[in-house]
Homo-oligomer: A and B are copies of this chain.
Amino acid sequence: METVVIVGLGLIGGSFGLALRKAGFSGRIIGVSSESALREATARGVIGESASLEEAVPRADLVYLAQPIGRIVETLPALAPLLGPNTLVTDVGSTKRKIVACASAHLRNALFVGGHPMAGKEARGVAAADPDLFVGRPYFLTPIVPDHLLRPPVATFLGILDSIGARRLVIPASVHDQLVAATSHLPQLLSTALACVLARQPNAHDLATSAGPGLIDSMRLAMSSFDIWSDILETNSDLIDRLLAELEAEIGRQRKKLLDSGLSAEFAQANQFAARVRGPR
């Protein structure tokens, strides 16, 4: 693999460039992004060159789409006429059904493997890029044709993911979207809902200033920007809605039991699941 084109130089795109270099990649890294992001990415050593999509993609062995979901879906059709037969296209979109459907429709003859690194932090933009962002994190891969995983450019990319420390998980797009609806989108909306309910209390000011560590932690996700979440929620709303309905029912059950038999069984079930999520202490 000689030439990597990173389209979209935010936190993830920038971190991928830095991680590539840290892992010893010695080829070209070309950036396609806004002027300000390109300037910052060049200054931080994320990219060696910048170019337009039309100039960069024909030279690419790997096209790494690190844009928001809505932009990825706009970029994919534009790639079709620019791609060589062995160029691998991958993306980092946080939902996969819509992107995989779009790639299937527009890149029928190309090599495409959807991707989603479960990595992030509160700071955004290439200024926050971190070569270790992917270390130990799940990295979902959703091929449109399972056989593509055996093709040499894909094998090379999988080796790159290993070298930057990511934990690869190959799953169908629909299974991916179910997973993230539960592990990411539901916790996000719960934190947002909790913040909204508390913000509307008459004593909201006192609540904010007397918060203990539990509430402080519970408000971390509520800080998330709708800019990022708008596309995610829109492209996974059916699966999220099903889980929100279950949560609504669970809260109704809690209310009944709170005033009646108590929540001992619920705490026991939650203890057990939480222990599996958080691992041995």
B237 touches A199 (CB 8 A): no
A229 touches B199 (CB 8 A): no
Q: Which of A191, A198, A200, A206 has the most CB of B within 10 A?
A: A198
Could you tell me the distance between the alpha carbons of A233 and B259 in the complex, rounded to whole angstroms? 9
A95 to chain B, nearest CB (A): 14
B-chain residues with CB within 8 Å of residue A2 when the two chains form the complex: none
B197 touches A246 (CB 8 A): yes
B187 touches A214 (CB 8 A): yes
Assess A179 versus B210: contact at CB under 8 Å? Given A217-B220, A222-B274, A248-B252: yes
Query: Which chain B residue lies CB-closest to A167?
Result: B210
A141 to chain B, nearest CB (A): 13
A145 lies within 8 A of chain B by Cβ: no
- Mark out the residues of chain A between 199 and 239 whose CB falls within 8 Å of any chain B CB in the assembled complex: 199-201, 203-226, 229-230, 233-234, 237
A204 touches B258 (CB 8 A): no
Could you tell me the distance between the alpha carbons of A262 and B233 in the complex, rounded to whole angstroms? 8
In the complex, per-residue mask of A170-203: 1 if CB is within 8 Å of any chain B CB, else 0: 0000010011001110111111111111111101
Question: Can you tell how many copies of this chain the complex includes?
Answer: 2
Query: Which chain B residue lies CB-closest to A214?
Result: B187
Assess A270 versus B184: contact at CB under 8 Å? Given A210-B169, A223-B278, A237-B259: no
A269 lies within 8 A of chain B by Cβ: yes
The contact size tier of chain A is 35 or more
- Mark out the residues of chain A between 7 and 66 whose CB falls within 8 Å of any chain B CB in the assembled complex: none
Task: Tell me the dominant secondary structure on chain A's binding face.
Answer: helix
A183 touches B169 (CB 8 A): no
Could you tell me the distance between the alpha carbons of A209 and B268 in the complex, rounded to whole angstroms? 19
A-B contact pairs, 28 of them (CB 8 A): A175-B203, A179-B207, A187-B218, A191-B270, A191-B274, A192-B254, A192-B263, A192-B266, A193-B247, A193-B251, A193-B266, A199-B269, A205-B276, A208-B277, A209-B276, A214-B221, A215-B277, A216-B277, A219-B277, A222-B270, A222-B271, A222-B274, A225-B271, A229-B267, A240-B258, A241-B259, A244-B255, A244-B258
Closest 5 A/B residue pairs (Cβ): A195-B270, A222-B274, A226-B267, A199-B273, A208-B276
Sample of 7 further A-B pairs with CB below 8 A, known A118-B210, A187-B214, A245-B255: A175-B203, A190-B190, A195-B270, A196-B250, A199-B269, A217-B217, A226-B263
